[in-house]
């Protein structure tokens, strides 16, 4: 199994969540799919929604620390509503089309 890495910095990811997501295509038709949010110990340190979850994941040993499920829920609630930066998407599309991605 390939280790999960952060797409922003290529560091090992701490957690990934996949969930249903839909959007409208150029014709206005609904497209169903999945979306993924990745928690990164480097990139997400300044994200208030991730703070509690990062703190729980930093704790050692089983069993899972109390409040972990609540911290995951709080992070995912915020992560699910984030939208991609259009400028970054345009840059990645250009790189993909030219074969440089």
pTM above 0.75, yes or no: no
65 pLDDT more than 80: no
For 5-59, what is each residue's pLDDT tens digit? Answer: 888 898 888 888 888 888 888 898 999 998 888 899 899 999 998 988 888 887 7
Residue 85, token pair as written in the block: 């930066």
- Taking CA atoms, 25 is separated from 28, 33, 91, 93, in Å, by 5, 12, 20, 16
CA gyration radius, the chain: 16
For 74-90, what is each residue's pLDDT tens digit? Answer: 888 888 888 878 888 88
Q: Report which DSSP code applies to 12.
A: B
Check residue 43 and give its pLDDT: 92
**48 vs 54: CA distance, rounded Å:** 10
Check residue 1 and give its pLDDT: 55
- Cβ proximity of 81 and 49 under 8 Å: no
**96 vs 98: CA distance, rounded Å:** 5
- Taking CA atoms, 55 is separated from 48, 51, 76, in Å, by 11, 6, 15
């Amino acid at each position: 199994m390939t280790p999960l890495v952060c797409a922003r910095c290529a560091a090992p990811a701490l957690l990934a969540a996949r969930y249903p997501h839909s959007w409208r295509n150029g014709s206005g038709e609904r497209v169903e799919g999945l979306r993924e949010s990745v928690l990164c110990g480097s990139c997400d340190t300044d994200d208030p929604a991730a703070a509690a979850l990062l703190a729980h994941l930093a704790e050692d040993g089983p069993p899972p620390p109390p409040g972990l499920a609540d911290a995951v829920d709080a992070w995912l609630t915020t992560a699910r509503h984030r939208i991609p930066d259009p400028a970054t998407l345009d840059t990645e599309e250009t790189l993909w089309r030219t074969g440089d991605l």
